[in-house]
A and B are shown apart, each in its own frame.
Chain A
Amino acid sequence: MCSLCGILGGNEHWADAVARPGVFTRNHERVDRRRERARRVSAANTILSAFALQLSDWQGASFLLSSRTGKTEVVEDLGHLWPAAEAMIGRGCDPLDEAIIQRMERQRHG
């Protein structure tokens, strides 16, 4: 269940589309799914570190979002990650913010 909206099952998020003809997804085999989840956790943490937050996999089904002060929340999919992150830190996570862009540019080139 989604901890934010309380809906069981929730919506199919575009980044986790069910594998079917013509659709691009990394949701084919179990191994693809696990590999993509690991990548996602790692890529998300690169961004989340700017907000002192961390994401981890939770039983291959959901994610756990945690702050350094120990606040923790279950996140169902990417659609819920950012609202949960913003609620946890009490401000917006804006990819168009100059400071965060500079931080990501430094990481990319460094």
Chain B
Amino acid sequence: MADARDIPDFTPVNLLTGFLGSGKTTLLSRLLKDPALNDAAVLINEFGEAGLDHHLVEQLDTDMVLLQSGCLCCTVRGELAEAIRDLHARRERGEIPPFRRIVVESTGLADPFPVLSTIKADPVLRHHFRPGNVVTTVDAVNGLRQLDTYVESNRQAAIADRIVITKRDLCADDALDALTARLASLNPDAPVFDATDADLDLAGLVLDEAVPRVALLQSPSGFYCDAPLQLIDADGGGHSADFRSIVISVDQPVDWTAFGLWMTMLLNRHGDRVIRVKGILNIDGEERPVAIHGVQHLVHTPVHMQAWPDEDRRSRIVFIVDGLDGNLLKRSFEAFAMVPRMSAVA
């Protein structure tokens, strides 16, 4: 466990999600035993499921145990916000080890968005916590069928920062290819990992840092890819929802003020259908790029990056949308956010 002085100003809250039976709890029990999470507090649904008995050091109370790895493990009863507030208060009072990260396991059928919005909306939590990576497990055997059938499964994959394919050893190669292709069209920017890989970097799943490409089952695309995928019409019908990703890439600098107005206008009207937005912007008048990241109505604080990742200075935004017209979205972005001098008209 970390020293109390090391508690970050904003403790990251990771979300571990995935459809029922997708191997979420198996991955979680691996995470719990890993030294990478020795400074984490993990919120799970049931102690029994995670099979912690052999790793238990101390039962702190009925809802909280300390594991050998140093990790705190708690079950959530009632509201998630209340559970995190309680952890925060107890950490402040020095009653529990000073954790530096929280990992929340979501239930398999849940839309993961409310967990993220809880952190931003709660009057206490928003000053002490920030959303961390969303890790989504996808079952290699049943994943494709679940994506075809359940909207929740699409949402879970769409908001992922890291996708972990489980049970790959039980699946034929061509079926796996079809699944990875679907995931790439749904969420082109999320690196995909293989849970059966003995060298899987568990720490890398929860840490925010960029992932080295060699570790990936599939190259990430989106704003790190060499040639952005044009996926507007990539996938046909037959899905439970019209989820697709749209990559907007522009040479001209973006007007930050106009972009803010456009983005808030878009999310106000279509926030429920903008599942995910992630981008790197070349802002007019700025040397360094600005990264933006949002999930539905929630936009994270814009990050002023240290430098461009490569020579490419274009603004690139990946939208994952449910049923919005990609061409209209592009035209709208260009018409609103790149207006050179709006003041002349006002």
Contacts and interface: CB of A to CB of B under 8 A. Distances in A.
Interface of A: 11-12, 14-15, 17, 22-26, 36, 39-47, 49, 78-79, 81-83, 86, 92-96, 98, 101, 104-105, 107-108
A14 B264 CA distance: 10
A82 B255 contact: no
B256 A47 contact: no
B178 interface: no
Contact of A82 (B257, B265, B340): B265
Given A26-B256, A46-B346, A95-B269, A40 B304 contact: no
Nearest to B283: A24
**Dominant secondary structure of chain A at its interface with chain B:** helix
Contacts of B335: 101, 104-105, 108
Contact of B265 (A17, A36, A93, A105): A93
Interface of B: 120-121, 126, 255-258, 260-266, 268-270, 283, 286, 290, 294, 299-304, 324-325, 328-329, 331-332, 334-336, 338-340, 342-343, 345-346
Nearest to A45: B346
Contacts of A107: 339, 342, 345
A10 to B, nearest CB: 10
Contacts of B340: 108
8 contacts: A11-B126, A15-B264, A43-B255, A43-B257, A43-B261, A43-B342, A86-B268, A104-B336
A92 B336 CA distance: 17
B303 A24 contact: yes
A22 B224 CA distance: 20
A101 B332 contact: yes
Q: Which 3 A-B pairs have the closest CB atoms?
A: A82-B268, A104-B335, A24-B304
Given A14-B299, A81-B264, A95-B265, 18 more contacts: A14-B302, A22-B304, A39-B257, A40-B260, A43-B258, A43-B342, A43-B346, A44-B261, A45-B346, A47-B261, A95-B336, A96-B266, A96-B329, A98-B328, A101-B335, A105-B334, A107-B339, A108-B335
Specify which of B121, B256, B294 lies most central, judged by the most chain A CB atoms within 10 Å of its CB: B256
A26 B334 CA distance: 22
A98 to B, nearest CB: 7
